[in-house]
Amino acid sequence: MSLILSVVLLAQAPTRLPETVVVETRQASPLADASPSVSRLDVAAATESGLTSLTSLLGTSPGVYAAEQSGEGSVGSLFLRGTNSSHSAVLLNGRRLPQGFSNSYEIGRYRIFGLSSVEILRGPSSSLYGANALGGVVDLRQPSPLAAKAGSTLVAEGGSYGRGSLGLAFLSNNATGPQAATHGTSVSVSASHDDGWRPNGDRDALNVYLNQEWLLSPGVVFDLVGSADRAHAGLPGQAVGGVGSLTDFQRDRGWLLSPGLRFQDANTTATVFWARAGSAISSVTSPFANRYLLNRDELTAFVDHKVRADLTLGFGLSYERTSFEQFDTAANSLTWADTHESLGVWTRADWQVSSVGRVRASVREDRFTDFAGKTTGEVSYSHRFTKELLAHAKVGTAYRAPAANDLAYGTHLGLPLRPESNTGTEIGLRHENAVPGALSWTLVAFRNELTDLIDFNPTSFQTYNIAKARTQGVEAGLETRPAKGVRVFGATTWLDTEVRSADYYFSTGVAGDKLLRRPTLTLTLGVEIIPNDDWIFGASASHLRGREDYDWNSSSRVSLPDATFVRVWVRRILADGTELSLRIENLFGEDAPPAALGFGAQPRSAYVGLTRKF
């Protein structure tokens, strides 16, 4: 514990938080009122430090362990406060991005180029977001083409192991002089290729984001949000047809298209949108060759109304229809197909009980066609000690709906599955100084009780609710500018996890064991020095301690070695809107696995980049 307390003085999210956040209430709210469990990561600052993927950016936030399995752009794992990768929702401007067959989001497919920020809400959040918000919510935010400055950015980078990437972001609107824009468009496209550092480790990726907005009348905005991504990756260490064959691969495609309306006046804010999302996953992994197709339609509407100066009430509903297909490409046959529907209704209240106290509460009811329903809710209290210091406490429940692969082989004894559940508690502090460059920090203690986790019969693959687990810990963050041109930042999480059931996920754990892969201690520290308007120098180190994984060859648990990954970056700004950059990843050649047993870290790698702004 003494180590944790000392780290609190040295850590935080990578960038200074803007004035408002959306993810906590689904409406823009002042940062000063946000829970310390909320982070808003500035993409522009992250890009300047050489971060390119969503996985790498998320890994810099308190309470988040995100790691790429086999180098830049590869399969990524995301654990919010120790919950599973399938336990957190990933959104684009509040719309749910396409999921995989296990309800997980392949975060390694997404680049941060073209985004304005990434907002993170840690802890149970189903009362506003429904399924897969058991561990938290990650919301990718695009720039508003009505509010942002028009312009274009071209980025090119190349370096170690045949890596090359190219990105173009374009934003235009009809603003003229003092006249505000009434319509605008933001589009970004990024593509990359990587030979990989292991045999059969090549990767190709394409990522597109779209955001269009039209001001129909004062207070009414129509928007069109879209994304498309495509990836093809070899699977290192796998082989089809013998040791000499390296033909295993996975091909992913996903897309989202979502029109919507927003309304706002002095007392009411309202949003309605329809979203159509789909994903296709094709893989050849010995001895299987499968294709998975998922398509989802969502209609969501919610409204918040200030009924009096100190009380806001809200109401929302969401309908979803999801279809699944599993296709055996080797046998040329459809092996499983199904369609799920759900309806969720929620209400919320935000009550300023005094000049320094605030209560928020919400409750939600969800019903499903294929499994049992779920009721979730949360209540929180915030107390403002000073203008800059806020205390916060919350109790909430959340769920993760059974995924397609949970139902594809049937359930044990034909019993209906229940959604996986979480009861979470937290208490924390946020200090947000209004003076630019002054000290900002967060500190939160949390606990999650996970029940009804879905496990598998290792012989029949039929599923049932039995597993239980607990995660608890302390997360902290800090950013400060102790001198002109110097920024110090970092993040730390101390995490304690425990299996609570007699058997856990294919016998990989018994009661009392730790959950696999989650570090006991995650610590990131960094410093950035800007001596003048022409240069930026930075360095950061990420340390992982106390991880266990499962060795399927020996059918036993193994301890992963502690690891420290160091990266440095240099940026040279030229007068004509051109910037040159150099970044070096894994400076000291750490070879311990960043994510999983058998997937060592990518060796020291160097990348040179060019950025041109128009």
Residue 551, pLDDT score: 87
Among 85-94, 339-348, 450-459, 577-586, the least confident range: 450-459
Closest CA to 450 of 84, 29, 75, 40: 84
The number of beta carbons lying within 10 Å of the beta carbon of residue 355 is: 8
Residues linked to residue 41 through DSSP beta bridges, in sequence order:
118
Rounded CA separation 509/499 (Å): 7
Backbone conformation region of residue 207, classed left if phi is above 0, alpha if psi is from -120 to 50, else beta: beta
Banded pLDDT at 506 (limits 50, 70, 90): low
Give the pLDDT score at 11. 37
- Please tell me the predicted confidence (pLDDT) of residue 240: 46
- State pLDDT tens for residues 120-167: 999 999 999 998 899 999 999 999 999 999 999 999 999 999 999 999
The per-type count for the chain, helices as H runs and strands as E runs, is 5, 33
Q: How do residues 159-182 score in pLDDT, each as one tens digit?
A: 999 999 999 999 999 999 888 999
Higher pLDDT, 108 or 214: 214
**Dist. CA 596–CA 548, nearest whole Å:** 9
Distance CA 416, CA 591 (A): 44
Q: Which range has the worst mean pLDDT, 190-199, 298-307, 484-493?
A: 190-199
User: How much of the chain, in percent, has pLDDT values that exceed 90?
Assistant: 61
Query: Mean of the per-residue pLDDT values for the chain?
Result: 88
Higher pLDDT, 411 or 8: 411
Residues 487-498 have a mean pLDDT of 95
pLDDT tens per residue, range 53-91: 898 899 899 999 988 776 666 667 889 999 988 899 999
Whole-model pTM: value is 0.92
- Average pLDDT for 229-246: 64
- Residue 7 pLDDT greater than 50, yes or no: no
* pLDDT at res. 289: 77
pLDDT at 579 over 90: yes
Please calculate the CA angle 611-140-35 and round it to the nearest 5 degrees. 120
**Count of residues in the chain:** 614
Q: What is the pLDDT of residue 575?
A: 83
Looking at residue 1, its pLDDT comes to: 35
Q: Where are the beta strands (DSSP E) in 440-596?
A: 440-456, 463-483, 486-499, 521-529, 535-545, 547-551, 556-560, 563-573, 578-585
Residues 271-297: tens digit of each pLDDT:
999 999 999 888 776 566 778 889 999
Residue-wise pLDDT tens digits, 517-535: 999 999 999 999 999 999 9
Domains annotated on the chain, with CATH: 2-330+337-613 (2.40.170.20)
d(CA 202, CA 217): 49
Question: Is-contact 416 407, C-beta < 8 A?
Answer: no
How far apart are the C-alpha atoms of 35 and 370, rounded to whole Å?
A: 35
Cα–Cα distance between 36 and 443 in angstroms, integer? 7
Residues in CB range of 517: below 8 A, 6 or more apart: 77, 79, 547, 548, 549, 560, 595, 596
Beta-sheet strand order (sheet of 95-96): 38-42, 117-122, 136-141, 88-92, 95-96
Tokens 């009809």 — which residue? 174
Q: Which amino acid is at 603?
A: P
